[in-house]
Structure formats: structure tokens, C-alpha cells
């Protein structure tokens, strides 16, 4: 049985194989599997960092992943709202637009 290609493999395949390897083996194979933080907590930290850095394109993966890891949509909306005061209103507004688009589609 062949293994389904990862998201990184689908996106970058032979174009950036080292980035795919690091993403699959180090980021998701090691960091996300460490037991010192739950996957739920890692998801909240990741979403907060992406909002702070204004990386809404990365939220397209991490918001649904956070829900899969046990964070509710309401908690994510509240986290983005809270971060508006600490990370900047434009960042929160851009990221909330992505959340609305994703959650509307899943609702």
C-alpha cells in the first residue's frame, strides 16, 4: 500500500524536497508529537503566532487543524478577537476573514 503524500509533498514535491522533508519529519514528525504540550495547546499557540505575524494564508491549514485537535470555532474566534489588542487590528481583521470563510464553509 502506498502512503498518501503529505500536504507539503503535494505543494512542493520535487521542487523543494528538503523543505518537504523538514516539514514532514521535523515539524510534524517531531515537534507536533512532543508530549510536553497537547496538540490542542500547540494549535492555539500556532494560531496565535500566525495572527501575530499576519500569516492568514497559513491559517487555511491551521484553523481546521486546531478544530481537529479539540479547539472549538468559538475559542478560535475569541482568540483572534483577543489578539487584536496585542498583535494589531489589521492582523486580526485579515485573519478573522479567513476564519469566517473557513468556518462558513464547514458549517
Q: What is the pLDDT of residues 22-41, one digit of tens each?
A: 999 999 999 999 999 999 99
- In the chain, what is the greatest distance between 2 CA atoms, to the nearest angstrom? 49
CB atoms inside a 10 Å sphere around CB 46: 19
Each domain of the chain, given as residue ranges in start order, spans 38-106
Superfamily of domain 38-106: AhpD-like (1.20.1290.10)
Q: If pLDDT is split at 50, 70 and 90, which confidence band does 105 have?
A: low
- Euclidean distance between CA atoms 4 and 56, whole angstroms: 26
Q: Does the pTM of the predicted model rise above 0.85?
A: yes
Q: Are 63 and 50 in contact (CB under 8 A)?
A: no
Amino acid at each position: 500500500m502506498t502512503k498518501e503524500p503529505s500536504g507539503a509533498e503535494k505543494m512542493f514535491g520535487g521542487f523543494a524536497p528538503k523543505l518537504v522533508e523538514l516539514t514532514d519529519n521535523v515539524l510534524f514528525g517531531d515537534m507536533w508529537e512532543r508530549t510536553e504540550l497537547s496538540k490542542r495547546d500547540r494549535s492555539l499557540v500556532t494560531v496565535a503566532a500566525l495572527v501575530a505575524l499576519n500569516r492568514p494564508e497559513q491559517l487555511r491549514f491551521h484553523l481546521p487543524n486546531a478544530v481537529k485537535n479539540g479547539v472549538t470555532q468559538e475559542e478560535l474566534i475569541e482568540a483572534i478577537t483577543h489578539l487584536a489588542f496585542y498583535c494589531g487590528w489589521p492582523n486580526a481583521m485579515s485573519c478573522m476573514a479567513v476564519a469566517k470563510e473557513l468556518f462558513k464553509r464547514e458549517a
